[in-house]
Chains A and B, each alone.
Chain A
């Protein structure tokens, strides 16, 4: 596998990303989850941007245009209004920015545990799948053949 290196975000871009993450997926005391600008989650987002760096950088630039300046300089209400509308759009940069935040957020141990799940990869433990009631097939078994004979 070819390895590629990607330039990391600038300090200003990182500040904007933190500001977007904080309003896109805010903390929720009721569910016991942090916001996506939590230091651990933000560090994961930044560390795994990889091939998405270009699109994320483009998204942050588009947000700066909408904010008429650095996005991080906005107050929380303005951030919320602009970021949630922007992320709901269908452009590739917006979709990519949304995805990189979600994929880091929903693998955070605290978030995974809040869903009642064990924070681990599927392998090697796997999961248990119940067999189910095969008698449900009885009416289907009783049907005549469905396929067509072919000449």
Chain B
């Protein structure tokens, strides 16, 4: 096995959290290395540059690694889950393959036990994270509109995405109902920003932005971190974290681009491999001292997986709307976000209003849902729908339950022979009631917007790729994996900075909060350098 030169900090994963923590720690002048199993992506090769742009979302740019099956992907057994696992492996990780919706978690999301008597409180709060939310918004380049009554004050550095035809339709319907709505914060540049070009409405934000307007970390944090001296090594897949006789992490074993097995020694290891990759790595890091996996004395590594069940409700109006001729993001509503004792469930959800979909995807999804027939009646039904679709997603809060978990699959392995993750996940009764409440509200909204052919699939749920909770943060080592500043209770030079550390998941897309937490942990590391491993 090849042994590399020692580094001060080894980061595993270059996505949302790994990039943020690398950039933040760069100012310490420590020798920092990030290992990433994916490649650098090329904007010129993103789907929206070719005529097959919609088809590629079912192939090499599918959100599901099992479908995509790039050689940089790892398989995941999600047969035992109604929610399928979406993620992406590349420099920038899931931020390359995300829709750029940018809500923060709410203050109440950090105090679920205190406010609602369920789950647990976080050991940190919104106020603690607020400066890191703001710093991250500046670094990523966020568009949005200040003044939303659903949140404490925020200061998006760019103006919001336009309302467009679809947003206007929704806005009028929401005003008719008297319900909250607001233009979504988006990780999309609406003006030129820090070397990024402004959005030109390519429409296909999720599978990579050819314009470079979407804030993936390969074009936001990483150029700055690399200029500051951080080394990023792509196509390096980490197999396990190694510990020494003192029970401290001594580095990682990985396979490089040529498949060679290497040992990378490090003074400190930071895991940023997402809520599936991080627990998988910990569970694969078995030793005599840590027979149940690393950092797992609580037995909670891999448990409390939260995925955000996300029904989608659609309907069709009598005018052409924006469809895929603009970013999918439009508005959000927080009308039903906070707990209401008059409802039959606790917690709540965000409504995410989409602008519709494209020509090919309308045909495929509507045919699959039985909404458009095959044969002679196909054309008329299709033309009544294409570019007439309104679609609302219900982003349900997903509370932690220990039986929702990842374990190591006894059979399935990746291309390097590393045991794969197996997902065991069920939707709780509380969440099911929440979903039904949200679906009914969406039907009211779509009706108020004049939509017909209203439809919701309860079996083919959207899988947003929000991977949370599997190495939770807390003050009690028996009830958590890392402490309140991201350090493992068991291994004092091992940190976790990704969505794994979430105690609860809120009812929002988590990337903004994941990065704020990562910046907060990096700041704690910098403040505690002299006593970091005590």
Contacts and interface: CB of A to CB of B under 8 A. Distances in A.
B133 to A, nearest CB: 14
A41 interface: no
B202 interface: yes
A31 B379 contact: yes
B291 interface: no
A104 B58 CA distance: 13
B37 interface: no
A90 B39 CA distance: 35
B359 A115 contact: yes
Contacts of A139: 175, 178
B375 interface: yes
Interface residues of A, number: 61
B487 interface: no
B374 A129 contact: no
B102 interface: no
Contact of A129 (B70, B150, B326, B334): B326
Nearest to A149: B107
B490 to A, nearest CB: 30
B52 A136 contact: no
Contacts of A129: 161-162, 164, 201, 322, 325-326
B375 A123 contact: no
B175 A136 contact: yes
Interface in B178-221: 178, 180-183, 200-204, 210-211
A103 B335 CA distance: 38
Given A84-B375, A107-B54, A123-B202, A150 B326 contact: no
B165 interface: yes
B162 A88 contact: no
A33 interface: yes
A144 B150 CA distance: 9
B364 interface: yes
Interface stretch (B79-87, B109-117, B278-286): B109-117
A121 B150 contact: no
A9 to B, nearest CB: 18
Nearest to B363: A102
A107 B360 contact: yes
Given A119-B51, A140-B181, A150-B115, A112 B359 contact: yes
Given A123-B210, A136-B163, A150-B110, A48 B374 contact: no
Contacts of B48: 121-123
Given A98-B367, A103-B360, A121-B51, A126 B211 contact: yes
A131 interface: yes
Given A48-B52, A149-B107, A151-B114, A132 B202 contact: no
Interface in A82-96: 83-84, 87-88, 90, 95
B69 A147 contact: no
A137 B167 CA distance: 11
